[in-house]
Chains A and B, each alone.
Chain A
Amino acid sequence: MSIKRRLSEFGSKVQHLFKGGGDVALEKQKKRGKLTARERVDEILDNDSFLETDLFVEHSSTDFGMDRKKLAGDGVITGYGKIDSRPVAIYAQDFTVAGGSLGKAHAAKIVKVMDGAGTKKIPLIGINDSGGARIQEGVDSLYGYGEIFLRNTTFSGVVPQLSIILGPCAGGAVYSPALTDFVFVVEKISNMFITGPQVIKTVLGEDVSPEVLGGAKTHTTVTGNAHFYAKTECEAFKQVKRLLSFLPANCLEAPPAAKPMPPVKSISDNVIPDNRRKAYDVTDIIKGLVDNSDFMQVHEHYARNIVVGFARMDGKPIGVIANQPRYLAGVLDVNASDKAARFIRFCDAFGISLLTLVDTPGYLPGVDQEHAGVIRHGAKLLYSYSEATVPKVTIILRKAYGGAYIAMCSRHLGASTVIAWPTAEIAVMGAEGAANIVFRKEINASDDPEATRQAKIQEYEDKFANPYVAASKGYVDILTEPHKTRDIVIKAFEFAGEQDHGNSFRRHGNIPL
């Protein structure tokens, strides 16, 4: 064969493979409002940075007529590329090729690029758009999933792993995204469930749409399985890029610093409402503290009583955890504890310092919470903060009561520095509850119990609803006004340093799950 023919043969093979499932299938994909796998890779990566691997991989299954079926790239595009000039490993399942179904070769391609991410120590980005296991390949496809799950787990805490769900992701397949650090979903495009609507209808007679069962809104508001909600695929890609800008490529590298910037709007000293029962939006305070007021929330729409996300101070990335008085008065509950604990552990794994803002009245009372295991779930928050060795700075804005005070990165759980505002109330509980217990006898014996109760509440409040008792015992390191806080936090982080728990001999702790 002449060189010329060889080259033209190669060219036409590549052209064919680039078409994935062919023109008709690609058209169908677009009609569903979805980009094609190749467009997605191009969209998310820097221009011309994609280095594709394994384009010519083919499956070797022979059952059910598979020997006569050629599947372009075996239904997945894999390789490496750059996002904002930083290397990443990437795979994108191609729904136009056999429904993006996962067989042995498909899985092997993903596994190869995962191993690449692990050895090169760069983030892994997975784009999921697949009907699930390739049934014709039987247990080989299950083997494939298992190999992926194993790597998701072994690389957890080594490199950041992001999953973008851009199509169906059902059955066992959902466990790969679930094992990764962050899951992105898009309205009307993403669907995740273990058992789909069809099966639920057949077996249980329950009628539910894929969107309600496991759509983007459901997973970002109800289940918490997904962290970021977007209206379009391109919006999701922008979120991915923004998130990566805060993250190091791996656990050995320092998080990427940027040019320090002042907040767009600084905090005024009367940011906390006069009435301590009044709500306010804690994100306003966060934006008043961090560089350029740039704060990227994680799990924005889930367990809104706690706010978590990434920002920068003095150019260095930090993870922020804050009670949100605007929602459920900022109580801790099952979902808030889970949300914060997972975020804290991510930050600790990747050397991202933690800034905690405290304004919480305590735990949400109720049978539902107790029966849902708020003891076990709440324990995760204590565990995560105690375990974290990154610099931990805590600011007590207002209420820090009882067990919730301890849980929110108190000095006692190993905070590097605890700062409190003059509005802080660090106490075993709110004045009303405490007065009713401490002064019960006096109140009951009084001629005017209500007047006595009010007097006793005032007495308790005057004595304990402040930061001075805690500060006098050294539980608070620094008292300051809101407008000076940013500078103090920056200094506190600067002086904090990595902690050493002296237990590196242990295999691992046993976080309550």
Chain B
Amino acid sequence: MSSVASSPAPFAARQHLLARLVRRPVALFSLVVLSVVVVVAALGARIAPYDPNEADISLVLATPSAEHVLGNDSAGRDVLSRLLAATQISIAAALVAIVTALILGVVAGLIAGYYRGWFDTVASWGTAVVMALPGIVVLLAVRAVVGSSIWLAMVVFGLLISPAYYKLVHSSVTAVRQELYIDAARVSGLGSLRIIARHVLSVVRAPIIMQSAIVAGMTIAVQAGLEFLGLGDLNVPTWGQMLNDAFVNIYRAPHLMLWPSLAIALTSIALTLLANAMRDELERSTPVRRRRRRKAAQADVVDPAPAPEVIAHADDAATAAIADERLLEIAGLRVAYDQPDGSSIEVVHGVSMAIRRGEVHGLIGESGSGKSQTAFSVLGLLPRGGRVTAGTIDFDGTALAGGSEKAYAPIRGTRIGYIPQEPMSNLDPSFTIGHQLVEPLRVGLGMSKAEAKAKALALLARVGIPDPQRTFDAYPFEVSGGMAQRVLIAGAVSTDPDLIIADEPTTALDVTVQAEVLDLLRDLQAERGMAMLLVTHNFGVVADLCDRVTVMQHGLFVESGPVRTILRTPEHPYTRSLLDSILDEGPARAPYGTTRKEARL
């Protein structure tokens, strides 16, 4: 596998792409159609039964017969012979355009992208000018000057379409020249030309082939269009010109339409489908490989044996004081992600927990342990492809797991609040902060606009934002990360929920801001008596905030109990290793073995 991933050898990769394409039915169909077209184009008039320009007045618009299997056109010329000859001309014309565009676009893109400077500026301006005009208008204007020549028209069209290659090569070169291996190549004394040839061209080769398929399709369409307008040389048979002849005589000989349209449509469709298939293959190749590797890795670590018992510790004095009313109960929860090949990968392997009313419950584990997946399952908002495959989630008497959106409607956002990890990406950049606070209040609680705004402003003040009105009117990118997280906390508590799900609420923040946000969360929790499921990888945060904690590893719960018990007498080796790491990172402000909560009691 590594040889595939790391070998940029052009030939091997191309063979690989072709081999992969052949396995796709759509791509295979396209390749077959295009092969037929190419063979016909190569043989062209040589296999034609008649001279394509030989007119026979007695056969004007004749229907198909034994001698003339596709009939004759308005000049009595053999349609089959003209079709064969036209294929040759049409394909040759398309090639002229592609080669022109390739040479101009690739060379200009390489020079502009690699050397920058004035050439880059000029080329970009030229691109803008060329793209500001519809190609066909330019082609018609050219015709006004130089008369009708299909070959010259195709050279001009090649120039017009060269920005497609220019942009592709330019952006690839710009990206590649930042890479360290280019610097390395330069340091080791390779000339610019060799660097370009070796590294840049190998990167852009596949996209260029794909682009060429699209360009070929466009060229055939434009060329057929021009010829259809009757602007071509009348002695040169082309698909477009045959179409013109057929359309003019549509009432008298409708059968003439079929063959040229079929040739144009099939060739264009085959080219586009092939380009699409190539794009899919090129886009897919990397992620699939990565995904497979991850799958393999997962298979190694996940123990297929029945889930080991969770080490559960009994309540201590502090946690026993929380009323034994279960707000959230998760039982045997399993979460899996569907894969494109129809299989699925399980990431949570049957976990159970209960959170009591007013309890702050920490869920701790390293990244990838499945703790966020557990939290999203409670919210019913697993990412695309993810689903709860087994188990139950009971929230205050309502079954949520597997429940429809209806079950969630009165709960999510009103009785369960959510505080995300990364503040900036969790606010919609296109709407003001105020709008994002007011909208859920109006939708979820049915408040009026004025009420909702007043409440939002009060909440912003409550979470410690100095100028609530200004923040209310601001867009997310105009405030700091700490401010954004306060906004999200304000949003989560705005409906006075019974349960807050906080997914690593401080991880993305600066250390000083982390402490402030933790203080805010603690105060809000105490003030409103909300239960909280706090997902974190940091025992410092757990010690600071939580009553009880559950330790998660590889999609399973391994240890659970009151925070103080776990801090003092961890039993599972994984818990111990997490506790050891507390010394290395995070704001572990409470003395080891005491919780902050307890210290204040």
Q: Is this pair of chains taken from one and the same complex?
A: no
